[in-house]
Amino acid sequence: MKTPTATDIIIFGALGDLSLRKLIPSLYDLEKDNLLPEGSRIICLARQRMKNADYLNKAHQNLEVHVEPERFEAQTLNRLSDRISYIELDFLNAEHYPKLAKALEDKPHQQRIFYYATAAEFFGSISEQLNTHQCITKDCRVVLEKPLGFDRESSTAINFQVAQHFNEAQIYRIDHYLGKETVQNLLALRFANPIFGTQWSESSISHVEITIAECVGIEGRWSYFDKAGQMRDMVQNHLLQLLSLVAMDPPDDLSADSIRDQKVKLLKQLKPITQEMQKHTVVCGQYASGNNDVELLPGYNNEEGAEGNSQTETYVAIRAEISNWRWAGVPFYLRAGKRLARKKTQITVHFKQQPHFIFDPEQRHLASNKLVLSLQPNEGVSLQVQTKSPGINNDIQIQPTVLDLNFNKEFKGIRTPHAYERLLLEIIKGNQYLFVRRDEIEHAWTWCDNIMQHWQSPEHVLHKYPAGSWGPSEAEFIIRKDGRQWSLED
Ligand code: BG6
């Protein structure tokens, strides 16, 4: 591991939602744990005219809300504030950049991280300005926030523009799901446990489910979301990242390229979904009004900022297949939806039944195992195994029993860092394994574009579902037709 050196973290879009809700609070947490290298500075850039003190005030207000109360304290706040400086900078205006260049020149040998927390369409122009104003150094890094483009073509164009000024080893494409504890645990579970390593294929696994259920709706981001939709907002990135980590072949080591090579190979093996296949394998939905036991919830088209009768999807379910030896014939059921009944992100791996069953034939259906990786809200891993029902009176009756590893209970007292906290630290250290490589993102787009291109056809249907439910009932169909059902563990 490289030793972190004093770093200038330069945030473009420092007044945006992401910066105030995630980045500054994560920097606070790093500060609290003494993980920000000595001498590091945080340079916050945004268009608004604002005094440093006013920016700090705003940052503090957000920290009070977004930092865990038991970790919030004046000492850390003061140390963090001392590092922060605000510069008014319209990132499209060349005349504003000398201010930034001057601030950076004060400490010419600091490592630099340019964090683009802005819309991706500006990444090219910002990179160009940084180059013109000689802010780019040999070992500086640039962080690109998602969504990177709208489709493969726009994503390739953005990657190309940024690549004019930064090489791939300097580029950190964020997918915050890769910073989540359980996602990394997936690597440990798969590759440090022979019991799973040898069973991880079509010979033992019947099917896999990946669910990302959110109970929140659009949260004031209607105009962004309406252009993107759930496929671009959640499936192209977070869901496909989870899928590739679950299904990829073992990497040779933990280096960024070993892991990313395997992910790319897997993404290329995702079977394209043709228009003909869509009827049976893809379901899109949009939430209508509903309730969540506590309150009435508006439909998507009545959310704050909504315009007109939008046909944008807020829910997608897909039955995916992978064309390789390991996964031949194993369906991967994927779904991601907003305003669902509960927040739950979960990967469920279903193992095949015993080929020969010696117990009560009526219990035949129980003879399998299920591995559940729970990402949120509670992180943990559980394995459902069959045991004998206790007692001496019966013949041997089997019953499902759960071997449960709840991280909160097991590792009590050890705090799980937030995804952005971990990712920021890895960027400072220069480790790229939790970031998405250029070819990876482009192959993910190819698979999604292929599905979305059929959505303009008259045959495409957007199914309404009540807010607070588990999504459109039609999504049951794509799994039921294989004789299965979606599972969700509490
Ligand atoms: C973001 C999406 O990337 O992830 C949001 O843009 C979504 O729409 C969020 O709500 C979900 O993240 P998490 O960590 O809460 O699952």
Q: Is the model's pLDDT at 141 over the cut of 90?
A: yes
- The protein residue with its alpha carbon nearest to ligand 1, atom 9, reads 234
Least confident of 152-156, 249-253, 366-370: 366-370
Residue of 225, 233, 242, 315 best suited for mutating to test ligand 1, as the one with most atoms within 8 Å of CB: 233
Q: Is the model's pLDDT at 322 over the cut of 60?
A: yes
Q: 148 pLDDT band (50/70/90 cuts)?
A: very high
Q: Read off the pLDDT of each residue in 131-146 and give the average, rounded to a whole number.
A: 95
> How many angstroms separate the alpha carbon of residue 395 from the centre of ligand 1?
50
Q: Read off the pLDDT of each residue in 464-488 and give the average, rounded to a whole number.
A: 94
Q: Read off the pLDDT of each residue in 372-384 and give the average, rounded to a whole number.
A: 90
> How many angstroms separate the alpha carbon of residue 214 from the centre of ligand 1?
8
> How many angstroms separate the alpha carbon of residue 238 from the centre of ligand 1?
9
Q: Is the model's pLDDT at 2 over the cut of 70?
A: no
100, 86 in Cβ contact below 8 A? no
Question: How many whole angstroms separate alpha carbon 7 and alpha carbon 113?
Answer: 7
**% residues pLDDT > 70 (the chain):** 98
Q: Is the model's pLDDT at 1 over the cut of 50?
A: no
Q: Is the model's pLDDT at 196 over the cut of 60?
A: yes
Position of tokens 């606070």? 28
Q: Read off the pLDDT of each residue in 171-194 and give the average, rounded to a whole number.
A: 93
373, 404 in Cβ contact below 8 A? no
Residue of 182, 238, 240, 300 best suited for mutating to test ligand 1, as the one with most atoms within 8 Å of CB: 238
State the chain's mean pLDDT as an integer. Answer: 94
> How many angstroms separate the alpha carbon of residue 435 from the centre of ligand 1?
16
Query: Tens of pLDDT along 256-304?
Result: 999 999 999 999 999 999 999 999 999 999 999 999 888 999 999 999 9
Q: Read off the pLDDT of each residue in 421-450 and give the average, rounded to a whole number.
A: 96
Which atom from ligand 1 is nearest to the alpha carbon of 180?
A: 14
Element housing 62 (H / E):
helix 52-66
Question: How many whole angstroms separate alpha carbon 263 and alpha carbon 272?
Answer: 16
Residue of 175, 176, 212, 314 best suited for mutating to test ligand 1, as the one with most atoms within 8 Å of CB: 176
Question: Would you report the helix, strand and coil content of the chain in percent, each value rounded to 5?
Answer: 40, 20, 40
Question: How many whole angstroms separate alpha carbon 114 and alpha carbon 127?
Answer: 9
**% residues pLDDT > 90 (the chain):** 82
- The protein residue with its alpha carbon nearest to ligand 1, atom 15, reads 214
| Confidence (pLDDT) at 3 | 58
Q: Is the model's pLDDT at 235 over the cut of 50?
A: yes
Which domains does the chain carry? 7-145 (3.40.50.720), 178-237+272-417+453-489 (3.30.360.10)
Q: From the candidates 238, 350, 418, 443, give the one annotated as an active-site residue.
A: 238
> How many angstroms separate the alpha carbon of residue 177 from the centre of ligand 1?
9
Greater pLDDT, 399 or 68? 68
- The protein residue with its alpha carbon nearest to ligand 1, atom 4, reads 234
Task: Give Cβ neighbours of residue 252 (< 8 Å, ≥ 6 apart).
Answer: 258
Q: Is the model's pLDDT at 488 over the cut of 80?
A: no
Query: Tens of pLDDT along 53-105?
Result: 999 999 999 999 999 999 999 999 999 999 999 999 999 999 999 999 999 99
Element housing 28 (H / E):
helix 24-32
Q: Which residues line ligand 1 (CB under 6 A)?
A: 176, 214, 216, 233, 345
For 162-212, the DSSP string reads HHTTS-GGGEEE--GGGGSHHHHHHHHHHHH-HHHHTT-STTTEEEEEEEE
Question: How many whole angstroms separate alpha carbon 252 and alpha carbon 255?
Answer: 8
Question: How many whole angstroms separate alpha carbon 369 and alpha carbon 115?
Answer: 44
238 catalytically annotated: yes
Greater pLDDT, 459 or 336? 336
